[in-house]
Structure 1
Amino acid sequence: MSSVAEAGLALGYGLASALVPIVNAEAYAVVAGHRRGHALVTVIALALGQTAGKLLLFDAARRGTGRLAQILARRSRSGRAAAAGVRWAGRIQRWLSRRRTALPTVLASAAIGVPPLAVVSLAAGTAGLRHREFAVACLLGRVLRFALLVLPAALAYGVFHK
């Protein structure tokens, strides 16, 4: 497969995985590490696709801030697990509303997955984080995450399959 085709496929897969939880971008990145010459292209395209998808969530939350708060309030009355989710969402919201903790939270979420990037994307949209800052932190974190996942497979493939 050509680099352009691989980039397009990875970009689309990244976008899909950002919006559909059962589509796993991490697994795609690991498999891509076994393909000679396309690992870097895949990492960047996958990260761009994921960032684009998370920006869609970010923008949707920004436009529907009042509706999101109503949904969370309704769910908080429906059980213990939902109440815990609302508490976590509240903490994330506070972290994202402070200038000194907002970008590190997004970067950590994008790189290590804690707190989940989907939740952070929604909360960042409602917290007033700048669009460009969110996008850059998300992209950097995703590139780091996917590069670390691809690296062992790419090194092993390069060492053992010359």
Structure 2
Amino acid sequence: MSSFAEAVVALGYGLASALVPVVNAEAYAVVAGQRGGHALVAVVALALGQTAGKLLLFESARRGSGRLFRKVTHRRRSGRAAARTARWTEPIRRWLSRRRTALPTVLVSAAVGVPPLAVVSLAAGSAGLRRWEFAGACLSGRVIRFAVLVLPAVLA
């Protein structure tokens, strides 16, 4: 596959995986690394696609001005489900509302996966984080994550 074709496929796969949880971008990165050839192109394009998809989530939460967050946290649930939701949403929202902790939270979430990047994307949008800051931290973290996954296959 040519470099351009690899970039287009990886970009599309990254976008799909950002929006549909069962589409696994990490698995695509590992397979792209084992195929060799254009692994760097695949990593960057996959990260760009993921970032574009997470920006869609970010913007939907921003334009919803917190309605989605209120809907998720105030929905009638059993005590266990409400506690689990609050355990993830409250600290993330608190971290993302402070300038000093917002970008490191997004970066760690994008690179490590904890807290989940989808939740962080929604919370960052409703917390008022700047779009370009979110996109930069998300892209950097995703490139790191996919590069770490591809590296062993490329070196082997």
| Aligned match of 1:13 | 13
Measure, in 2, the Cα distance between the counterparts of 1:102 and 1:66.
17
Question: Residue type of the partner of 2:122?
Answer: L
Question: Residue type of the partner of 2:128?
Answer: G
| Aligned match of 2:32 | 32
Ranges of 4+ aligned residues in structure 1 off by more than 2 Å: none
Kindly report which structure 2 residues correspond to 1:60-75, keeping only aligned pairs within 5 A, or say none.
60-75=60-75
**C-alpha displacement at 1:139, in angstroms?**
0.1
Q: Identity, % of aligned pairs?
A: 77
Measure, in 2, the Cα distance between the counterparts of 1:136 and 1:69.
23
How many equivalent pairs are there?
A: 155
| Aligned match of 1:78 | 77
| Aligned match of 2:98 | 98
Measure, in 1, the Cα distance between the counterparts of 2:41 and 2:61.
30
| Aligned match of 2:49 | 49
| Aligned match of 1:23 | 23
Measure, in 2, the Cα distance between the counterparts of 1:42 and 1:69.
34
Kindly report which structure 2 residues correspond to 1:82-161, keeping only aligned pairs within 5 A, or say none.
82-156=82-156
Structure 1 pair 66/129, CA: closer, same or farther in 2 (3 Å)? closer
**C-alpha displacement at 1:9, in angstroms?**
0.1
TM-score (norm 1): 0.92
**C-alpha displacement at 1:74, in angstroms?**
3.4
CA RMSD of aligned residues (A): 1.0
Structure 1: gaps (5+ residues): 157-162
Cα deviation, 1:110-156, whole Å, max 9, x if unaligned, reads 00000000000000000000000000000000000000000001111
| Aligned match of 1:4 | 4
**C-alpha displacement at 1:83, in angstroms?**
2.9
Structure 2: gaps (5+ residues): none
Measure, in 2, the Cα distance between the counterparts of 1:116 and 1:38.
28
Aligned residues of 1:43 and 1:146 also touching (Cα < 8 A):
yes
Question: Residue type of the partner of 2:6?
Answer: E
**C-alpha displacement at 1:71, in angstroms?**
1.3
Cα deviation, 1:7-28, whole Å, max 9, x if unaligned, reads 0000000000000000000000
Measure, in 1, the Cα distance between the counterparts of 2:13 and 2:53.
10
Larger radius of gyration: 1
Measure, in 2, the Cα distance between the counterparts of 1:46 and 1:124.
21
TM-score (norm 2): 0.96
Measure, in 2, the Cα distance between the counterparts of 1:140 and 1:121.
14
